[in-house]
């Protein structure tokens, strides 16, 4: 059975990556791609990579019959998603949201970091979309959808995905000091900031430059704390790198009293943890993840090592538009619709 899919906000970087994935997905048929700014423009004219791939044109949000879709992917800014998700779900459309609107479980926390939440009833029912770590929520959503209910998934953000995949196995195994701070330093490509250029992301400022931003104030902080159970203990510092796409997070975790694993033991623990996760690869001891090795894919690479100062250093590499956004959205949709989670996501990064 083929399911009809629409992408709201399809002209942005995450949106057009969704278009790329859905255009060749064997089970989802892309029938709508909305963009008020580019309405009426063929996708292949705005993005020539789609020449010979699709004849679909962008359409306005208002004129597109998204209610005719089985699933709608929302690639829109925060606040915009919660304004449209309710009507779509009421129309029987399953919603996969790539924004921050349905990630945080507590509306008070959302308000602290974003704005007052206008759809808290939807927030309460949303499944969190990070399959390797919240598979139980997605499995429950799949059961509800199979019973005829339209469901809502709030997909994890890019920084939380790479950071949490790197840190979760050690934390959940009880190897990390439950009172000490955890430090995450992460570097992202410029597409993570969205399509509209700013003084930070304009080529002339981003090229040949590295800088930290949002120090102590970045909005992904509470999401990472929620996933990893680190409330009030996370020191998260994001950095902008002169890359188109790619994200690397290095997490420093203090070992719990009495814990003394070797690097080899940690690698074995991580491989066991991700044994049923086909899109996560744990590197050999002494080998570190590379963003180039996952670019253009929904794959993640994770590395882990013991530091002699009584620390675990865990690293996670993803494509911020792939596993960090569009690919993760498709992976979650696959699960919710009862498909293999890797369906349409089998890409291997270019080796060179």
Distance CA 170, CA 204 (A): 40
SS3 label, residue 323: helix
Burial of 1 (0-12, 13-18, 19+ CB in 10 A): exposed
Catalytic, 158? Answer: yes
Q: Which residues contact 141 (CB under 8 A, 6 or more apart)?
A: 127, 151, 152, 153, 335, 336
Taking a C-beta distance cutoff of 8 angstroms, is the pair 21, 346 a contact?
A: no
* List 158, 204, 332, 343, catalytic entry: 158
Which residue, chain included where needed, has tokens 């399911």?
3
Structure tokens that stand for 125 in this block: 């029912």
For the chain, how far is it from start to end, CA to CA, in angstroms? 37
Strands (E), the chain: 3-8, 28-34, 71-74, 94-97, 127-129, 152-155, 182-188, 211-212, 234-240, 247-254, 280-282, 300-307, 311-318
> Which residues form the catalytic set?
158
């Amino acid at each position: 059975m083929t399911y009809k899919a629409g992408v709201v906000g399809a002209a942005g970087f995450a949106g057009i990556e969704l278009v790329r994935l859905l255009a060749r997905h064997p089970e989802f048929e892309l029938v709508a791609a909305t963009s008020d700014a580019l309405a009426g423009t063929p996708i292949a004219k705005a993005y020539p990579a789609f020449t010979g791939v699709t004849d679909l044109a962008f359409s306005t949000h208002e004129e597109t019959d998204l209610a005719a879709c089985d699933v709608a992917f929302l690639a829109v800014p925060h606040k915009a998603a919660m304004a449209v998700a309710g009507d779509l779900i009421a129309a029987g459309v399953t919603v996969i949201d790539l924004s921050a609107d349905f990630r945080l479980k507590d509306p008070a926390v959302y308000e602290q970091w974003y704005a007052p939440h206008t759809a808290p009833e939807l927030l309460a029912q949303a499944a969190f979309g990070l399959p390797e770590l919240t598979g139980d929520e997605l499995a429950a959503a799949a059961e509800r959808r199979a019973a005829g209910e339209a469901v809502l998934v709030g997909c994890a953000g890019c920084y939380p995905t790479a950071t949490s995949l790197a840190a979760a196995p050690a934390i959940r195994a009880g190897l990390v000091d439950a009172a000490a701070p955890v430090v995450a330093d992460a570097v992202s490509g410029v597409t993570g900031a969205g399509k509209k250029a700013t003084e930070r992301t304009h080529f002339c400022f981003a090229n040949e430059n590295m800088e930290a931003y949002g120090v102590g104030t970045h909005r992904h902080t509470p999401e990472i704390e929620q996933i990893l159970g680190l409330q009030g203990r996370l020191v998260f510092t994001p950095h902008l790198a002169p890359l188109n796409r790619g994200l690397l997070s290095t997490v420093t975790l203090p070992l719990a009293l009495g814990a003394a694993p070797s690097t080899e033991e940690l690698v074995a623990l991580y491989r066991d943890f991700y044994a049923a996760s086909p899109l996560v690869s744990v590197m050999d001891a002494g080998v570190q993840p590379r963003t180039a090795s996952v670019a253009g894919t929904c794959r993640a690479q994770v590395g882990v090592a013991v530091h002699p100062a009584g620390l675990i250093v865990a690293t996670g590499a993803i494509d911020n538009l792939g596993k960090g956004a569009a690919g993760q959205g498709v992976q979650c949709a696959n699960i919710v619709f009862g498909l293999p989670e890797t369906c349409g996501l089998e890409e291997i990064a270019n080796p060179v």
